[in-house]
């Protein structure tokens, strides 16, 4: 490998004695490390393959006198008196015996014998019991050299196979083209692999176009998603907001998915942090839950936020298709009607007044105080859970897009963080400021001092939002309710997305560019005010510093900009 250039990666096969397709071993952020070699090879028990990205390895046997063999134990062949390393001698002996003499150019050459020449091998003193076919190439070899040949044969056949080059340049070459995605060659070792696998299944050559108004975005978005006849949601999503000039290069799609995931959470689910589906026959009949499942899959595959707001028992149903009664307790009931019934039963001294409600939940036992726990756990809680299983069933159908449902079934623990609340992944003020890349003037100038002051104003503004101080100011500019003004909302105003990127590669590349306009009054001497200019496609915001001399001016202008500047147009 001394002269090898163009990069290389490690691959390995998961069992199959070399007959299975090899899968890439992704390097760490700093490249391949010794600990990764040890982990990937199971402490030396698994063979690793070095696969060049732009060249081919020279697979010709090395001469016996090369420096790589100097420290290897050697022995002399008793037939031809050639000295060679023991590993090479094991193969050479068989060749030397069968030919009775060998040239120097054929010292390490393996004799390949076809199945039709088995009789000839018997004549050359190879009994049939000592000859077996190679499981890869099906050629016949002596038993004592078969194992070594098979290991070399597997690597050689893979590198020479006609579909190897396409496999190397396209990891998704054996992923099913349909939307179910039942087959996959990628090895899912972490959440990053899973998301990259989903992204690779998006058909980027065709588009799934949605043209929607910002007014009543959720309902209009769901309807337009269902009415789209010319495209398939497996294609790349392209969004157009009616009346806006913005061209979707990724920011519009992320903004649409952010709004849809948030809207679906509020519209179709009940609960506080962790939620369960809201029972609704009309939503079920209209296919809204299936559409929601498709939107979840598209969001995960195309850079949107993860729908991490479900209860654990709901996620368990998605992975298995069955309700695990051991995972459900009274705290998992989000329906207001059943929650009130549970509270009434717990406080009641006489259960007869709730007979109808309890019986309607399927309870058939005795109605007495001693059976309170059984009534709550076996009747009310389970009835509330089983009532929403049709909604979860439709959601599972939507998750079949890109084969996401199969991936969730195969990797339930890995996918759990995408659906169940865990570590808070919403951006805060520190996250945004740590990813700011300001384009500052020369240090020491008056402009640089003003620009530094604007950055401090922005940090104070975000921290006030976190503390809820900006609620009254938001009301003064007639913006949305105070719950609307959040740090993720500010980030969405600038970048189009209100969530941290899911992919590690996107997290490293994510940054918000601050620019500063010092000359707006020079260009337009008569104007009295102007607002920040946002480019969500490039994650850039330009501040008009001449109008932001004080923090109060800064806050008033930016609040108005967030309220009125969400569209891709000049106002």
State mean pLDDT over 266-291: 91
Residue 571 has pLDDT above 50, yes or no: no
**Confidence class of residue 69 from pLDDT cuts 50, 70 and 90?**
confident
Residue 475 has pLDDT above 80, yes or no: no
Q: What is the pLDDT of residues 342-352, one digit of tens each?
A: 988 888 888 88
Report pTM. 0.61
| HEC sequence for 405-421 | HHHHHHCHHHHHHHHCC
| Residue-range domain boundaries for the chain | 8-58, 67-160, 191-324+392-419, 326-389, 429-564
Cβ-contact 338, 356 below 8 angstroms:
no
The contacts of residue 93 (CB under 8 Å, 6+ apart) are 77, 79
Cβ-contact 569, 241 below 8 angstroms:
no
Q: What is the DSSP letter of 110?
A: P
Q: What is the pLDDT of residues 20-37, one digit of tens each?
A: 678 788 887 777 788 777
The CATH fold of domain 429-564: Hect, E3 ligase catalytic fold (3.30.2410)
State mean pLDDT over 405-432: 87
**Distance between CA atoms of 382 and 392, rounded to whole angstroms?**
15
What CA–CA distances, in Å, run from 300 to 123, 197, 490, 503? 64, 10, 22, 10
State mean pLDDT over 134-156: 62
Better-predicted residue by pLDDT, 451 or 173: 451
| DSSP run (H or E) holding 299 | helix 288-301
pLDDT score of 290 = 94
pLDDT score of 125 = 45
- Least reliable range by pLDDT among 43-57, 156-170, 473-487, 503-517: 156-170
pLDDT score of 314 = 93
**Which letter, b or e, does each residue of 248-280 get, where b requires 16 or more Cβ atoms within 10 Å of its Cβ?**
bebbbbbbbbbbbbbbbbebbbbbeebbbbbbe
Q: What is the DSSP letter of 83?
A: E
3-state class (DSSP) for residue 236: strand
Better-predicted residue by pLDDT, 250 or 465: 465
Instruction: Return the ∠ at Cα 323 (arms to 317 and 325), rounded to 5°.
Output: 135
State mean pLDDT over 99-110: 44
pLDDT score of 513 = 92
pLDDT score of 268 = 93
pLDDT score of 158 = 40
Question: Judging by DSSP bridges, how do beta strands 235-241 and 203-212 pair with one another?
Answer: parallel
Q: What is the DSSP letter of 568?
A: S
Give 516's strand partners.
543
State mean pLDDT over 412-425: 85
Better-predicted residue by pLDDT, 497 or 107: 497
Question: Judging by DSSP bridges, how do beta strands 512-517 and 540-544 pair with one another?
Answer: parallel
pLDDT score of 137 = 66
Q: What is the pLDDT of residues 484-519, one digit of tens each?
A: 688 888 888 888 888 888 877 788 888 999 999 998
**Distance between CA atoms of 361 and 486, rounded to whole angstroms?**
41
- Least reliable range by pLDDT among 238-247, 315-324, 411-420, 444-453: 238-247
pLDDT score of 267 = 92
**Distance between CA atoms of 221 and 52, rounded to whole angstroms?**
46
Give the whole-number percent of the chain exceeding pLDDT 70.
Answer: 77
State mean pLDDT over 183-189: 59
Sign of CA dihedral 118, 120, 122, 126: negative
What CA–CA distances, in Å, run from 357 to 337, 421, 554? 10, 32, 57
* CATH match for 191-324+392-419 among 3.90.1150.140, 3.30.70.270, 3.40.50.10800, 3.90.1750.10: 3.90.1750.10
What CA–CA distances, in Å, run from 535 to 41, 115, 495, 513? 47, 68, 7, 10
Residue with tokens 């009532």: 387
Half-sphere exposure of 137 (CA within 13 A, CB side): 20
């Amino acid at each position: 490998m001394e002269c090898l250039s163009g990069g290389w990666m490690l691959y390995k096969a998961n069992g199959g004695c070399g007959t299975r397709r090899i899968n890439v071993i992704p390097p760490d952020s700093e490249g391949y490390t010794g600990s990764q070699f040890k982990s990937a090879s199971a402490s030396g028990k698994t063979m690793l393959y070095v696969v060049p990205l732009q060249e081919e390895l020279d697979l010709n046997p090395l001469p016996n006198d090369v420096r790589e063999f100097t420290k290897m134990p050697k022995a002399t062949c008793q037939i031809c008196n050639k000295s060679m390393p023991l590993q090479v001698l094991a193969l050479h002996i068989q060749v030397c015996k069968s030919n009775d003499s060998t040239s120097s150019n054929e010292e390490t050459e393996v004799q390949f014998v076809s199945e039709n020449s088995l009789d000839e091998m018997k004549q050359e003193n190879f009994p049939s019991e000592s000859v077996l076919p190679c499981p890869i190439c099906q050629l016949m070899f002596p038993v004592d050299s078969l194992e070594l040949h098979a290991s070399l044969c597997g690597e050689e056949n893979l590198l020479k196979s006609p579909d190897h080059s396409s496999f190397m340049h396209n990891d998704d070459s054996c992923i099913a083209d349909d939307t179910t995605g039942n087959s996959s060659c990628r090895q899912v070792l972490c959440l990053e692999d899973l998301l990259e696998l989903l992204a690779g299944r998006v058909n980027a050559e065709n588009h799934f176009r949605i043209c929607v108004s910002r007014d009543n975005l959720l309902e209009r978005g769901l309807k337009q998603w269902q009415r789209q006849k010319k495209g398939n949601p497996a294609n790349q999503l392209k969004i157009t907001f009616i009346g806006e000039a913005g061209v979707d290069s990724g920011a519009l799609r992320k903004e649409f998915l952010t709004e849809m995931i948030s809207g679906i959470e509020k519209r179709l689910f009940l609960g506080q942090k962790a939620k369960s589906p809201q029972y609704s026959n009309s939503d079920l009949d209209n296919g809204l839950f299936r559409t929601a499942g498709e939107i979840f899959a598209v969001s995960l595959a195309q850079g949107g936020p993860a729908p991490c707001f479900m209860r654990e028992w709901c996620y368990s149903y998605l992975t298995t298709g069955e309700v695990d009664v051991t995972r459900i307790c009274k705290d998992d009931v989000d329906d207001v009607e059943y929650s009130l019934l549970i509270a009434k039963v717990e406080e009641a001294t006489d259960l007869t007044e709730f007979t109808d409600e309890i019986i309607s939940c399927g309870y058939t036992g005795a109605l007495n105080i001693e059976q309170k726990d059984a009534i709550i756990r076996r009747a009310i809680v389970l009835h509330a859970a089983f009532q929403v299983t049709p909604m979860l069933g439709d959601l599972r159908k939507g998750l079949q897009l890109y084969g996401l449902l199969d991936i969730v079934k195969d990797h339930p623990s890995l996918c759990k963080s995408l659906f169940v609340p865990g570590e808070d992944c919403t951006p805060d003020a520190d996250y945004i400021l740590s990813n700011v890349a300001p384009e500052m003037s020369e240090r020491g100038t008056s402009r640089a001092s003003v620009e530094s002051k604007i950055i401090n104003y922005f940090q104070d503004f975000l921290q006030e939002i976190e503390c809820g101080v900006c609620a009254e100011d938001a009301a003064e500019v007639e913006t949305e309710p105070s719950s609307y003004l959040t740090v993720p909302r500010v980030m969405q105003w600038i970048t189009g997305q209100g969530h941290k990127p899911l992919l590690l590669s996107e997290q490293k590349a994510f940054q918000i560019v601050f620019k500063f306009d010092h000359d707006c009054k020079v260009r337009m001497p008569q104007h009295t005010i102007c607002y920040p200019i946002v480019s969500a496609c490039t994650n850039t915001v330009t501040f008009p510093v001449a109008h932001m001399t004080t923090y109060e001016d800064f806050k008033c202008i930016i609040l108005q900009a967030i309220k009125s500047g969400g569209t891709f147009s000049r106002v």
